[in-house]
Amino acid sequence: MKRNIVITGGAGFIGSHVVRLFVNKYPEYNIINLDKLTYAGNLANLKDVEDKPNYKFVKMDICDFDAFYQLMQDEKIDGIIHLAAESHVDRSIKDPFTFAKTNVMGTLALLQAAKLYWESLPDKYEGKRFYHISTDEVYGTLSMNHPEGVEPPFKTVASSEGHKAYGDNFFYETTKYDPHSPYSASKASSDHFVRAYHDTYGMPTIVTNCSNNYGPYQFPEKLIPLFINNIRNRKPLPVYGKGENVRDWLFVEDHARAIDIIFHEGQVAETYNIGGFNEWKNIDLIKVMIKTVDKILGNPEGHSLDLITYVTDRLGHDARYAIDSTKLQKELGWEPSLQFEEGIEKTVRWYLDNQEWMDNVTSGDYLKYYEDMYKTI
Ligand code: NAD
Ligand code: TYD
């Protein structure tokens, strides 16, 4: 069946993996990558699909209601997979307005344009879909009532060797929203607007909340690509606080596969959590990255441990994220494909092999931006 699908934020990290998957898997679809190309958008992420006949790039700001409404009509859009967002917590602490504008008002502009266009059609919302990609950070933070780690109740392929849980509680689809950072507050707000368009107007919406992603093409402001690049260049590794915060990591291609399954088979108005049961304390993860980079570069074991530099903690730094994705696994049969240690090795090799990509996105200005925010202690 032919479909006309807009993927917003397709030039970013996760979006580029979703665009690549859809363009390659669905030659009969018309895939439009809509992106403003902010500092985080990079068309070099999609070089391998840019000439495909079912792919088109449109440079547009999601806040531009008129332009998007026009695009909906011109391209007869029947599906929207919405990833465009300001995505970095540290930037949201410095500049919350941009996050409210893009993440909240931008999402609202897309919803309203979709509503006007779809309601003008004879079959209205039949066969349409508005799918919002969100984060587990909207649920707030979990306590660490097992700081040394315990045997977890769940495991998946993604779970690391000797996998531990650092609390006996998890984020479920029913967990009450309790965002703390300006980033997560803006994502929570946009999730609420998406659900409101279902509940009020009957729009067929879906929201998914995913844990931290890692893999190729991630902008090197996020922990994993930043640290791989710094280890390679013998630069300090700024660990916030004591490095005890816990994040739950999922390989980005597994997230993209989940998005494909949920877009096609997910129940309208439902929420699905996406994650691999793969909790890591930051400092332990950093040591794995150091070991992997040193091994690949032929350095002696422990060579780069001296780069670890403890710096002032992030304001309002959430202690622990850990997501329960049982519903998605049971109802739609998704499961992660890659075990974490394999995924990290694959990721490290990708960044080391793609130094040109890294050099293109790394700039002195970017480092200066943080100069006054984190001081070595
Ligand atoms: P990213 O920062 O790498 O990419 C965001 C993309 O959105 C960029 O291409 C950027 O140019 C584009 N964009 C930003 N503002 C725009 C605007 N006003 N109009 C049009 N395009 C705009 O982000 P990411 O890490 O790929 O995250 C994608 C989505 O997934 C976000 O909605 C994020 O909240 C969500 N998410 C991310 C993670 C993660 O670990 N990275 C986890 C769960 C959910
Ligand atoms: P990040 O990649 O920014 O993702 P998020 O804040 O959305 O979870 O950060 C992951 C974890 O790593 C988080 O606990 C903050 C920490 N961190 C550092 O310790 N140092 C850094 O330089 C960065 C970017 C993150």
Write down the domain spans for the chain.
4-368
Quick one: 372 exposed, middle or buried, by C-beta within 10 A (0-12, 13-18, 19+)? exposed
Going through 36-170 in order, the beta strands assigned E by DSSP cover: 55-59, 79-82, 129-135
Neighbours of 30 (CB within 10 A): 18
Q: Quote the CA–CA distance of 238 and 228 in Å, as a whole number.
A: 12
- Please report the pLDDT score of residue 364 as a whole number: 46
Q: pLDDT tens digits for 152-182?
A: 888 899 998 888 999 999 999 999 999 999 9
Tell which atom from ligand 2 comes closest to the C-alpha of 282.
12
User: Under a CB-based contact definition with an 8 Å cutoff, are residues 104 and 193 in contact?
Assistant: yes
Q: Answer yes or no: is the C-beta of 246 below 6 A from any ligand 2 atom.
A: no
Q: Among this protein's residues, is 136 annotated catalytic?
A: yes
- Higher pLDDT pick, 247 / 365: 247
Which residues lie across from 130 on neighbouring strands?
Answer: 80, 205
Architecture of domain 4-368: 3-Layer(aba) Sandwich (3.40)
- Per-residue confidence (pLDDT) for residue 375, from 0 to 100: 53
- How much is the mean pLDDT over the chain? 95
285 CB near ligand 2 (under 6 Å): no
Secondary structure class of 181 (helix, strand, coil): coil
Q: What is the C-alpha radius of gyration for the chain, rounded to an integer number of angstroms? A: 20
- For residue 152, what are the β-bridge partners? none
**This model's pTM is above 0.85:** yes
Q: Do the beta carbons of residue 209 and residue 135 sit within 8 Å?
A: yes
Instruction: Take residue 122 and report the two structure tokens written for it.
Output: 């004879």
What is the atom index within ligand 1 of the atom nearest the CA of 62?
A: 19
240 C-beta closer than 6 A to ligand 2: yes
